[in-house]
Homo-oligomer: A and B are copies of this chain.
Amino acid sequence: MRFLHTADWHIGRRLHGFDLTSEQKNAFEQIEKIAIDEKVDGIIIAGDLYDRSMPAEDSVALLNQMIEKLNLADKFPIYAISGNHDSATRLSTGSKWFKQTNFYLHTRLDQAFKPIELPDTQLFLLPYFELFDAQQYFNDETIKHLDQAFKPIAEKMKTQFNPQKKHILVAHFFADGSTQTASETQLTVGGLAAVPVALLQDFDYVALGHLHGKDALHADNARYSGSPVKFSLSEANQQKGVFIVDTDPVKLTFKPIKPLWDVQKLTETFATLTDKDFYQQLNLDNYYGITLQDTKPIPNVLAQLRNIYPHIISLDRENGYETAIDYRGESGKQIRQKDPMALLADFYQQIAKEDLTEQQKKWATEALKAANDGGKKS
């Protein structure tokens, strides 16, 4: 059989304040096309369908549309689990009805042990769970770490193994030896840590969710599909996509997803960044994390760059500032005793190499007065 393995859609996610809806819709359409072109027998979604346990109405409407399209319109079976970002309870709404159209959505640990029986494969859908759930389910309070929790889970699944079939596990956790990026929530809730890859050995394939990069783990039989969309600058160099999983024999093929607007890093001087010949070659609608190589202060630098790059998601300096602020040997105490206006004037002069204008002084004086008054009131 042939499955499409995806995960971590995080519907509702924003990128440094920018709405990713069109980015996510675009990625979804590519996933749908891949599923159709590859004639897959089902679509695996390994958790974190939503970005938040209480998704906004727009996010609910969007995910509902996507799932209805894949399952009701395109007639693809769906094998999904809840992730740590989903509310298992909210996500489970309707799941008892979904089975009628081969949309299997598991949100509780106890659902993981009855495999979905397919012609040549047994699918075990293990949702994200807290250590507490495992302690309760196995009635064993000595379970203190994820490996202790997962061992009996795997053992119990194996009692269901049909030797004539392949065995696929769909799960959402941190597998030991994986590399994490900035955009994933650390799973340390209730001591929840990592699952040793050795514990996964009896499955023919483990379709993982949680980490956003397809290369986070390179086990023979276990992979993260990664998210379909880049969710942070730390994912700038990741190739997003989905895995096509063939079962007989087990074979993995990665299918890339092209971003609508890419997330990219730019490390250049201000002069280069503002040079038409340079930026005309770029897709200026992309999301840029900019690192300036300059060391001189540049007035209104962000505003100036935003005129050219409307989607700047970060701005920093590669080599800091040429002139650190010179306190002329004054102690912190001496400085704190100085008149705020004098301090501001010094600071501005050192950074901008100019004196404050009369207008600027007026604004500063008003601001200081307001701050002081505010302190007295309410």
- Using a CB–CB cutoff of 8 Å, the interface residues on chain A facing chain B are 54, 57, 60-61, 64, 68, 72, 87, 89-90, 92-98, 100-101, 103, 375-376, 378
Other-chain residue from B57, B96, B376, B378 in contact with A87 (beta carbon distance below 8 A)? B57
Closest Cβ of chain B: how far from A102's Cβ, in Å? 11
Q: Measured between alpha carbons, how far is A202 from B42 in the docked complex, in Å? A: 49
The verdict on A100 contacting B100 (CB below 8 Å), with A61-B89, A376-B376 known, is yes
Q: Is the CB of A94 within 8 A of B98?
A: yes
Please, which residues of chain B bring their CB within 8 A of the CB of A64? Answer: 92-93
**Whose C-beta in chain B lies nearest to the C-beta of A103?**
B97
**Whose C-beta in chain B lies nearest to the C-beta of A71?**
B97
Q: Measured between alpha carbons, how far is A100 from B96 in the docked complex, in Å? A: 12
Please, which residues of chain B bring their CB within 8 A of the CB of A61? Answer: 89
Q: Measured between alpha carbons, how far is A87 from B56 in the docked complex, in Å? A: 11
For the complex of A and B, 9 pairs with smallest distance between CB atoms: A94-B94, A97-B97, A57-B89, A61-B89, A100-B100, A93-B93, A60-B89, A60-B90, A68-B96
**Whose C-beta in chain B lies nearest to the C-beta of A97?**
B97
Q: Measured between alpha carbons, how far is A100 from B97 in the docked complex, in Å? A: 8
Closest Cβ of chain B: how far from A81's Cβ, in Å? 17
Q: Is the CB of A93 within 8 A of B60?
A: yes
Please, which residues of chain B bring their CB within 8 A of the CB of A68? Answer: 96
Please, which residues of chain B bring their CB within 8 A of the CB of A95? Answer: 94
